[in-house]
Structure 1
Amino acid sequence: MTVVAIQPSYGNPAARRHWKDTLDQEVHFAEPSRINALTPDQHTALLAAHPTGKARFWGATKAQDKNMQRLHSGDVVLFTGGNHVRGVGEVGVTFRNAAFADTMWSQDPKHGSWHNVYSLAAFQPTRIPYTEIWDLPSFNTNDNFMGLRILEGAKADEVLQGLGIETTAAALELTALESAVAAALVAGTQIIAAENLHTQETTYQRDARPVLVRRAEALLVREYTTSISSPDVQVQRLQTPAGITDLHVTGPDGTEIVEAKRSADHRFVREALAQLLDYAPHSPEPADRLTGLFPSRPADREIALLHRYGIDCVFRTTPGDFERFAASADARDHMRRAWSEA
């Protein structure tokens, strides 16, 4: 289970210096002065994760010793500051070493060395406003994320899904599962369950690369929300057992669930259809309308596919403007019974 850490990292001059020195650029940990500060095991782990001898790093002082024990390879860090998530990283190697930390960062006057060190196997600069986290069901408006916060379980999953973060560890786990299932089928042996695949130990045998942070859908949802905004329309995101809806809209026309996709191609239309049908039974009020939201007009056959299941198609025409191709009333009424009875 992936842990998510919310890490304030840009709110004061010291943090901004750390950012410039060890996030804006990679650190050569294999140079003599730093190798001498590492234990043999730490050096071996870093080289296995970062064969070039370079990596991005972050650290925490003794005040965060307990929290840092909960952070491991493959976990995700949201680096925050200035009311934005300024970067998303995926943890590579974690260890405690004051001597090594002191080669990168000056000690904190109150708490000393930033000795809880972790490298980043992947890192992506971003500019995600806090409002996108506040919109998630488990968060509160005006939460400024003061101090390191560790999220686990459903709340961590909510952040990953809600912000569209796809980790390299998750991608490799899917690849490992695919390989294991294929091998078992070819050999006629038992198929290994996903939870029994332990891939994180070999996840980072490569140079660092960006974390995949999907922003197109979030930006599309934001623009569409602005276009329908009015005093009598309530727009929120809904946490369901099937996941988090992109939008749950309540207004004079009833209740609508909206699923946004970054493309109007067939694959994404099918994904939207499946997710909407999965979400619908969990709406607190019976859903009157399900809607797929796309950045451009889908092909006629894709619109027909949505309409077959009583789902509307909305797509962007020009900046701030959207067009709706509504499903027939008969198709919607027929499917609504399935949504309500599921």
Structure 2
Amino acid sequence: MENKSLTPQEVAEILKISKCTVYELIKRKDLNGYRVGNKVRVDMLDVEEYKNKSKSIKTKKSGNPEQAQPERAAAAELDSNRDDRRESFTICGQDSLLDILCRHLGRHPRGVPALRSYESSYNALYSLYRGDANVAAAHIWDGKTGDYNIPYVERMLPGIPSVIIRLAARMQGIYVLKGNPRKISGFEDLGRKNISIINREPGSGSRILLDEYLKKLGISISKIKGYENESNSPMGLTSAIAKGHADMAVGLELPFLKIRQIDFIPAHKEYYDVVIKKAHIDQPIYQAILDIMKSEDFKMEMHGINGYDLTDCGKIIAET
């Protein structure tokens, strides 16, 4: 058997369980998993080992009906389409601020240890819609309205009343080589034939921002050199530019990106928000999240991360 590397979603489809349950199995060390950058991966051989291990347990127990019944019940529960919030709580999004939120949530009197799903903004909202995540974080700009997140929440969670809570404001911009030898000043420079780009993955806030600007500027992606070249992390973008593989990329202004070989051109203020289904907002764990986001302890820890405006952190921005 080929030992392919699988995503949690692919593992979930093989085992006929939810993606949240896959993360829970990895967390409990029932299933081996590992990280590639900020993504979780599982080898096919480990999935087969997990399946065989489960089969051997059932076979061993099957001689005694009274013993076998709990095993069958556990398997049925695992394979059912139940709400995984009963046994796991998942916050979906890529920013390190969510790691800080999870840490505080694990210590809060009404909180729980939370799982992290490192998905792009678009996929985070989709996971919330599917019930694979309890909380989604997003920074998606709608070029038509000029609003952040609200139009996408309304479209991607149809018929599901939701609450959008501000986490932070921050700056999106353009990475270029130190000294800006190509004299790049904004998104419009992508219309120049001699400019190449390294892109973020589809569904990320930075990718959607770029695509919206290209649409407004009337620049066809087919004319952009390197548009199809992608990286799943800001460090991948800056590395490609530093090595001469691209002239520019769109990403966040962050302290760790201020490396000697790269300059940052501010271009667009964006908003990073947390999205929760309104039906859940009064439950203790969600109230704990609101408490944490408004707390001075949380804000003080975030103040150590330059480039984030926390003025409205914890404020309910909209209800859809």
Specify which structure has the higher proportion of strand.
1
Q: State TM-score, norm by structure 2.
A: 0.22
Larger Rg: 1
* Structure having greater relative contact order (Cα 8 Å, sep ≥ 6): 2
Q: State TM-score, norm by structure 1.
A: 0.21
Specify which structure has the higher proportion of helix.
2
